[in-house]
């Protein structure tokens, strides 16, 4: 292998990237747009749940419960109604997600130590949000009921019964449970996979469509030299995209970075090399840019977005899908990025994911070079 010929191919690709202003702008602007869009628009935090109250009890006790709902950041009381029909109407129009119905005997049962029931009406069209909203409401109601019983006990006996078990919750790593703090690091992996696959999946196919592949074949450039030369140019562009993603993530969204910067850049470089090699393999297997782009989208963007644990938990998926997700390299890189960003863990815990990324990059580059050699032959 000649370093001189490899450098010449890399220079040729750099010139092509600089001359194609629209592709260059798209490659640089896309990470910023995706980060801003996902960072601001995509939120898995469930708060300010639009809630309607139907109070049949109308006592200071029920009024105090309503005040607890108003004071919680998880609920937003949009109104108090006088029947079930307005609740149904608000849910049909998507103004309300939760309806709280306080029965007429609520305060009586609560003061007597009996079971005091509160009816929760939840819009289940969004099952995940509805389940979370139901859990928040149940927790608030139970906490309020326990507080009222303790006050009643103090009035009767002068002392309160302590709870047999007191749970003290301590959240590690993402203390405030902000979904943005784990979405943005995972989004870096998705961006690198999309950009890398999109850029290199077109490079060889473009040579065939433009008729310049024959000129390359007439030179003494070997397939491995051609592959390394093309990858090196887009590798630099991928690193620029990663730096942009880090600047936006840390500077705009203030995502905490607790780990080692060197490990982050090393893991990103290995993952980026594998993603670029996969795009090159697709490009070498197709002679049209349209076919290469479609196959790249199908095998790069969709698996990285859906089967990497970026947003959707892999543990909740069917076993067949979980098995397929084992072959998605983005899932291992996302595990590393989240571990480095949020937990500050090092290579002593992430070595297996790192080795899998190395094996993926080397293996895909070998197959890409072999496919390119077949095309050249």
One-character DSSP codes across 352-374: HHHHHHHHHHHHHHHHHHHHHHH
Note the pLDDT of residue 177. 67
Using the 8-state DSSP alphabet, how is residue 327 labeled? T
Determine which helix (DSSP H) or strand (DSSP E) holds 349, and give its type and residue range.
helix 347-376
Note the pLDDT of residue 267. 92
Rg (CA), the chain: 29
Note the pLDDT of residue 99. 92
Backbone region of residue 177 per phi and psi (left: phi > 0; alpha: psi in -120 to 50; beta: other values): left
Please give the mean pLDDT across all residues of the chain.
Answer: 81
As a 3-state breakdown, the chain gives helix, strand, coil percent values, each rounded to 5, of 70, 5, 25
Note the pLDDT of residue 216. 67
Note the pLDDT of residue 221. 72
Strands 98-102 and 119-122: antiparallel
Note the pLDDT of residue 43. 64
Q: How many CB atoms lie within 10 A of CB 15?
A: 11
Note the pLDDT of residue 197. 73
Please state, for a pLDDT cut of 90, what percent of the chain lies above it.
12
Buried b (16+ CB within 10 A) or exposed e, 222-241: bbbbbbbbbbbbbbebbeeb
3-state secondary structure 15-42: HHHHHCHHHHHHHHHHHHHHHHHHHHHC
Note the pLDDT of residue 244. 86
Note the pLDDT of residue 121. 92
pLDDT < 70 regions, the chain: 1, 41-45, 152-167, 169, 171, 174-177, 202, 205, 207-218, 374-377
Tens digits of residue pLDDT in 351-374: 999 999 999 999 988 888 887 776
Q: How many CB atoms lie within 10 A of CB 109?
A: 15
Note the pLDDT of residue 298. 82
Q: What is the pTM of this model?
A: 0.74
Which domains, from first to last, does the chain contain? 3-43+178-376 (no CATH), 49-157 (3.40.1710.10)
Shortest CA distance to 50 belongs to which of 14, 74, 19?
74
Do residues 2 and 225 lie in contact, with contact meaning Cβ atoms separated by under 8 Å?
yes
């Amino acid at each position: 292998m000649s370093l001189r010929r490899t450098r010449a191919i890399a220079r040729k690709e750099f010139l092509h990237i600089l001359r194609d202003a629209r592709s260059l702008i798209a490659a640089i602007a896309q990470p910023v747009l995706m980060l801003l869009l996902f960072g601001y628009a995509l939120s898995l935090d469930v708060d300010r749940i639009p809630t309607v109250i139907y109070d049949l009890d109308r006592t200071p006790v029920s009024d105090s419960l309503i005040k607890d709902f108003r004071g919680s950041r998880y609920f937003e009381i949009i109104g108090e109604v006088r029947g079930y029909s307005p609740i149904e109407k608000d849910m049909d129009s998507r103004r309300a997600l939760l309806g709280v119905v306080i029965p007429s005997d609520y305060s009586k049962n609560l003061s007597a130590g009996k079971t005091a029931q509160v009816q929760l009406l939840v819009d289940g069209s969004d099952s995940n949000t509805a389940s979370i909203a139901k859990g928040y409401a149940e927790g608030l109601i139970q906490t309020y009921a326990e507080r009222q019983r303790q006050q009643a006990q103090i009035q009767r006996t002068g002392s309160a019964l302590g709870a047999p078990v007191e749970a003290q919750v301590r959240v590690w790593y993402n203390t405030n449970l902000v979904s943005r703090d784990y979405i943005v690091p995972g989004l870096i992996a998705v961006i690198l996979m999309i950009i890398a696959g999109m850029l290199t999946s077109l490079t060889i196919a473009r040579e065939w469509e433009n008729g310049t592949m024959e000129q390359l074949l007439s030179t003494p450039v070997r397939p491995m030299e051609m592959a390394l030369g093309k990858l090196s140019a887009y590798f630099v562009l991928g690193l620029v995209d990663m730096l942009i993603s880090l600047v936006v993530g840390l500077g705009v969204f203030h995502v905490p970075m607790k780990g080692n910067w060197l490990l982050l850049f090393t893991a990103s470089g290995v993952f980026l090399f594998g993603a670029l090699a996969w795009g090159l393999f697709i490009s070498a297997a197709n002679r049209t840019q349209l076919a290469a782009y479609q196959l790249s989208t199908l095998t790069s963007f969709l698996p990285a977005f859906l089967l990497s644990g970026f947003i959707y938990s892999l543990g909740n998926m069917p076993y067949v899908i979980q098995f397929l997700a084992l072959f998605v390299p983005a899932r291992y890189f996302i595990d590393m990025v989240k571990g480095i960003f949020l937990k500050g863990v090092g290579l002593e815990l992430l070595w297996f994911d790192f080795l899998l990324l190395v094996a993926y990059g080397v293996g895909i580059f070998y197959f890409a070079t072999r496919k390119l050699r077949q095309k050249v032959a």
